Structure 1
Amino acid sequence: MKKLLLVFALFTSIIHAQEDNTTELDLITDTSSAEAFIKANKSKGNKLITFNEEKHKSVLATDLFKLPFGGKTTTENNFEKTTYKVVEKNTVTHYRLSYILLDSQQMEASKTKAYRERIIASYHNGSPFDFLAKKYSVADNATRGGDTGWFTKDNVSLFFDVDVIENNHTEHEIYTLDNEEKGLYYIVLNTHQPKEIKEIKVLKIVEQKN
């Protein structure tokens, strides 16, 4: 009888713990409350993750994008239980370009501009832009053929020291931009038109199993 009561008490405590956790999770309705939860429940596994529909193609990401705002899903293994909750859903304008960066610190500005015109002429004469970027660009993404990948307005500074997203250029148009103050000269290929891409922010909660 005592064993039966002990088992019942243990089962009841587990149920209450699960209910408390569910209630706490239900109170998380946005990124602010998610960040507050992470701060109050410090764990290596607890984090706020941004998923981009264009970049993230895993089975998990695909399933998360199917969830509504506030939707939850759980995965388990022998050691831990992981819960994901969608706390924000947005559609964000993204941009994608390819560019060649020339640095006039290596030569006079006038010579750099003349050098740039010769590179553009090579492009118009049939040289692939990615080949020219790998050969001439001093930017970090030169090895990728100058491709920026998809980026948002907030991330322009990762690639450019000039404004590139307010310029209205047609797809596949090539143009130049200058930052005279810093001596930076760009050749930009408008490889893609702006694109609306879905993003979600997901709270990940990891609970260890006893």
Structure 2
Amino acid sequence: MNYPFDTVGLNSETIDMFDETYKLLKSKFKIELTGNIDFRLQDFEVFRGCNNVNIRGSYVIKNSRTDCYILFVEIHKIKKGGLGTVPPTYDYYEYQTWALAYVKKDFGRVFIRPETLADKIVELVHPVELDFADDKAFSDIFYVLVNDRWKAESAMDRNFRNAVMDVRHEDILIEIIDHTLIIGHRHQVSPESSQQLADFVARICSTC
């Protein structure tokens, strides 16, 4: 059977999950294969610590204003075991879905994730995150790190923040480098969460 993604070395469970995810996305969006595009995933902090990041499938979501993308990603990690463990290192693979969009506004560098209690405690002593005085609900839920406060405040307008608020996933990660946004999480690929990511980037490309 011909699949619209690279199946070499994948077990049947992973192939089935990718296939179910692709079929759901195909039913909800106008998507096409991208061909070979270098999305420069190695530039993003969310993939720091990975030994290799391999795209198993990439799809463009055709949009009336600008296109966005869904990526099937294979993460390869090598970790050291505890003292005296055999073998001393072990490696493993994770399969995830990420969505990518090229946005009009220059965000600088931005990292967004759900805020934890530890973040709130650190913030009391060392204020480092970007908060929005006019949007307490957003600032209470999300932890935002930036390298240029003016760029980030200008780019993260109400439309953008509302779109982020509507992503109902407790482990969501968003990273933006200038005009390139990526969104995902480190959980195993699933059709439903992949649709959420696709909904988000399609909305961002339409409104922001």
TM-score by length of 2: 0.27
Larger radius of gyration: 1
Q: Which one scores higher on RCO, CA 8 angstroms, separation ≥ 6?
A: 1
Higher helix share: 1
Q: Report the TM-score, using the length of structure 1 for normalisation.
A: 0.27
